[in-house]
Structure 1
Amino acid sequence: MKLLILDRDGTLNRSRDDYVASADEWEPLPGALEAVARLNHGGWRVVLATNQSGIGRGMFDMVSLNAIHAKMHRSLAAVGGRVDAVFFCPHAPEDACTCRKPSPGLFEQIGARFGVPLDEVPAAGNALRHVQAAAVAGCPTHLLMTGKSEHLRGQVDTLLPQAPPSTALLGLPPGTCLHADLAAFADWLLAQDPTADARASGLAPL
């Protein structure tokens, strides 16, 4: 099984200064849903690992979160993509849980659920805490320069698509690769397997 873990806010959809608290506020990033569809067609199963402390803080409830994800699934289906599962942490920081990133709990839950060694599961997201949690769990790590990391664009162009050890200056785990956005990450990942890349481009049968 080829499994991939993505962050949600700032990676798949636009992030907000407060919270994405309703389906009306959920807006996909340009090209992100299509990137997921291409990954799916390349044989990748995609799951999300996302902090949703707005629940613990009382900013929105599970009904609202379910409505957000229902809209997300419909939007993905409309372009031929899918997310197999959403793992989320509902806790506020003061709850001191083990699933709130940068703790690795969500990633460990995903590994246990799907029965896949996490060192074979790439993880990509826009937030440092996502990459840190993924690294602790043993995943190969990828930082997208969108959302919380959009300020890096233009500063590290010479590091793309693979970052040298100098990325330690950015506080990233060793070996982290940098990509402009989810579409660029999908291009990179699919290029590692030419057969999958051809399937994702519609050049070979699924």
Structure 2
Amino acid sequence: MDRGKQIRPKAVLLDRDGVINFDSPDYILSPEQWQPIPGALEAIARLHSAGIKLAIVSNQSGLGRGMMDRDTFNDIHAKMMLAIEQAGGYISHVAYCPHGPDDGCVCRKPLPGMVIDSLAALNLPDKPEDALFIGDSIRDVEAAFAAKVPAMLVQSGYGDADKILEKSRQLMPEIQAFANLATAVDAVLGEC
């Protein structure tokens, strides 16, 4: 979707790992491993300052796989939220799926459950076009597409960014890709 021709979104839904913080194929399993991508926290603060509501929508199967306990997950989450708030940002809603890929849940991306729940929490249940999902994987784009939410990609995750973009364009031919959240937010706010 060409955001240059669109009205600024009322809400932005963000994936966590690979968008806000560095990701790892071995999961983020401790607060020490949670490290923000340079510019991401400031980008969130810029969206918040512009009056855009923010939500985080994230698969966290490390919980369901027993790779970390709930207390450790909560500690990672607390570190992230504090860092976002210290940078001047604010997250209105957090949705995460603790299930593994074979658990048969209805929330795990690429299913749209968490996206739909987040739209409701942000008072946009009937206006998915007023939101924007920023992710780094095809699962993010598939979940956004299923919920009828426009999407953007960032290429700061650990996957093959070119293949992710190619697959994403099969669903959303006009999808844009940016190096990271900071440059994506430049486009959202018309600052590039």
TM over 0.5: yes
1:190 paired residue number = 189
| CA distance in 1: counterparts of 2:167 and 2:31, whole angstroms | 33
Gaps of 5+ in 2: 1-8
Percent identity over the alignment?
A: 38
Tell me: higher relative CO, structure 1 or 2? Use CA pairs within 8 A at least 6 residues apart: 2
What whole-Å deviation, never above 9, does each CA across 1:18-69 have from its counterpart, x for those lacking one? 1111111100001100110111111111110000011110001211111111
1:20 paired residue number = 28
Q: Does 1:177 align with 2:187?
A: no
Shift of 1:113: 2.1
Residue pair 2:58, 2:97 contacting (<8 A) in 1 also: yes
- Which one has the largest radius of gyration? 1
Looking at secondary structure, tell me which structure has more helix per residue.
1
| CA distance in 2: counterparts of 1:86 and 1:28, whole angstroms | 17
User: Could you state the TM-score of these two structures normalised by the residue count of structure 2?
Assistant: 0.87
1:146 paired residue number = 156
SS in 1 for 2:105: coil
Aligned length, in residue pairs = 178
What whole-Å deviation, never above 9, does each CA across 1:52-103 have from its counterpart, x for those lacking one? 0111100012111111111011111221112222100011111111110001
User: Could you state the TM-score of these two structures normalised by the residue count of structure 1?
Assistant: 0.81
Shift of 1:150: 5.9
1:45 paired residue number = 53
2:135 paired residue number = 125
Gaps of 5+ in 1: 156-166, 192-196, 198-206
* AA aligned opposite 1:67: D
| CA distance in 1: counterparts of 2:161 and 2:130, whole angstroms | 29
* AA aligned opposite 2:185: A
Residue pair 1:127, 1:148 contacting (<8 A) in 2 also: no
| CA distance in 2: counterparts of 1:35 and 1:144, whole angstroms | 13
SS in 2 for 1:91: coil
1:201 paired residue number = none
Coordinate RMSD, CA, aligned: 1.7
